[in-house]
Amino acid sequence: MLDTNHKGHDMVSAATERAEKQRQLEKSKQTVTDRETELKETQKASGRLREVQSRWPTSNDFQSLTTNPQFSFGEVIKSLISLTAHIKDIWRLETTRIFSAVTAEKILLPQEPKTREDFIHFLVPLSLDPNTAHRNLRLTEQNQAVACSIEPQSYPEHPDRFEWWAQVLSKEGLTSRCYWEVVWSGQYGVDLAVSYKDINRTGQGDDSGFGYNRHSWSLDCSMFRYAIVHNNEETEISVPLSHRIGVYLDHRAGQLSFYSVSDTMILLHKVQTRFTQPLYPGFGLFQGSTAKLCESQEGGSPQEVNRTKNNKTCIKHRCLRTAMKRNKYLRFGKRGASSPK
């Protein structure tokens, strides 16, 4: 019985001792904090004093100033030196840990896809958002396909809907490594785009058209050419055309690539930039055009389109397509429904 009481007394004593040490530690920390504050205030006062002295360098008034000889900064300085050393140790350890994590992550990142099989590994399911679709765009196949129609659709009012440009965005915003394929048709083609969600939805200005602003990137496809468009700058791409396009996005690396898909992957254009928001795939269409998000094996191998047609014909259709983008009488909905000749 006495032994049990003695053990209990030892446990209470140990707990009391730990509590006392903790209290002393907290008191020491507070002392260091108080002395740091005192030192900072003294340094500020000293700085102000030097400033005043510099303004009146010939004054002898300050020679009579005295200091308290009993006051010492020795302990404060020692505490600050110890604290500085501790902070440096933490900084070194954290820096080493971060660099190790970054190095390991770089090693684990998969290599850039090369073959179509590699790209299919990053295939993501996408669907078009009816709330963004222009009224002359008709969505079908569970919102996987879109066609441009003269007849307006009975969509409800929605703030996300494109009111001027015949465009539509996907429901999904992408922030990782992703791949999707599109099959398109129509003489005047389609715009295959990615866009930030904050692209403007109203008006006919550049701030709402895919590729004509800094919020979106667009590959313009038609029977006669490809062109990459961003921030109202257009670059024409001279390669054989196909009706099946693959789009590869590495959001983190700032890479956006467009491919002509056949038995081999033909790179059409690669964008290298820094993406600051999730990207939403989208389509811009012209009268008689269609586009479809497709499964990996849908549609077979696309046929290439012969581009060796009469140059005057190519220029004519290129100018007409540009006019269709800009001219309200050649577009849809509020732009009018007249078909280009």
pLDDT in tens, 118-136: 999 999 999 999 999 999 9
Task: Pull the structure tokens for residue 261.
Answer: 């898909």
Across the strands, what pairs with 146? 139, 291
Lowest mean pLDDT, pick from 2-6, 99-103, 217-221, 233-237: 2-6
Q: Among 54-58, 79-83, 92-96, 278-282, name the one with the lowest average pLDDT.
A: 54-58
Q: What is the mean pLDDT of residues 97-105?
A: 68
Residues 212, 218: Cα–Cα separation, whole Å = 9
Distance CA 36, CA 255 (A): 49
The 3-class SS string of 94-124 reads HHHHHHHHHHHHHHHCCCCCCCHHHHHCCEC
Residue 41 has pLDDT above 60, yes or no: yes
Q: What is the pLDDT of residue 300?
A: 43
Q: What is the mean pLDDT of the chain?
A: 79
Q: What is the mean pLDDT of residues 328-340?
A: 37
Residue with token string 């770089």:
106
Q: What is the DSSP letter of 171?
A: S
Q: Which of 76-80, 123-127, 258-262 shows the lowest per-residue confidence on average (mean pLDDT)?
A: 76-80
- What pLDDT, on a 0 to 100 scale, did the predictor assign at position 334? 34
Pick from 300, 212, 308, 217: nearest CA to 263: 300
The pTM for the full model equals: 0.61
Residue 127 near residue 182, CB atoms below 8 Å: no
